[in-house]
Amino acid sequence: MTSLSETIVNKLQLLPRQKQQQFLDSLEDEDLLTNVSPAELQAFASLSIAPDEQAKLSDLLARNTEDQLSTEELEKLDRLLDQLDQLNILKARAQYTLQYFNQASAA
């Protein structure tokens, strides 16, 4: 019985040398989202913060510049900013992955 890794190696050997190298390079690139479909990548790339969360964030940021936030509100602002950072990282990784695979398929 052939193992999964043997099957992958056998299939990889059928590809042209350049495609083999691209595949191997993609395994080493931690920013690529390789287990996600192109449709999911498109969805991730177009994500945005929910309108109600955007309104809360805008309010907290405006009030923060005037030093009008309570301790709880400062914590909420920090959580929202952390969530926004994570969202932007996911979007960037999705866009990077789409660009990487579009370039690889054009080569």
Give pLDDT tens digits for 41-53.
999 999 999 999 9
User: Which residues have a Cβ under 8 Å from the Cβ of 67 and sit 6 or more positions away?
Assistant: none
pLDDT band with cut points at 50, 70 and 90 for residue 19: confident
Q: pLDDT tens digits for 31-77? A: 888 888 889 999 999 999 999 999 999 999 999 999 999 999 999 99
User: Which residues have a Cβ under 8 Å from the Cβ of 7 and sit 6 or more positions away?
Assistant: none
Does the structure show a pLDDT above 90 at 27? no
User: Which residues have a Cβ under 8 Å from the Cβ of 33 and sit 6 or more positions away?
Assistant: 41, 44, 93, 94, 97
Q: Is the pTM of this model over 0.95?
A: no
Average model confidence (pLDDT) across the chain: 84
State the pLDDT at residue 68.
95
Distance CA 41, CA 35 (A): 10
Q: Please tell me whether residue 66 adopts helix, strand or coil conformation.
A: coil
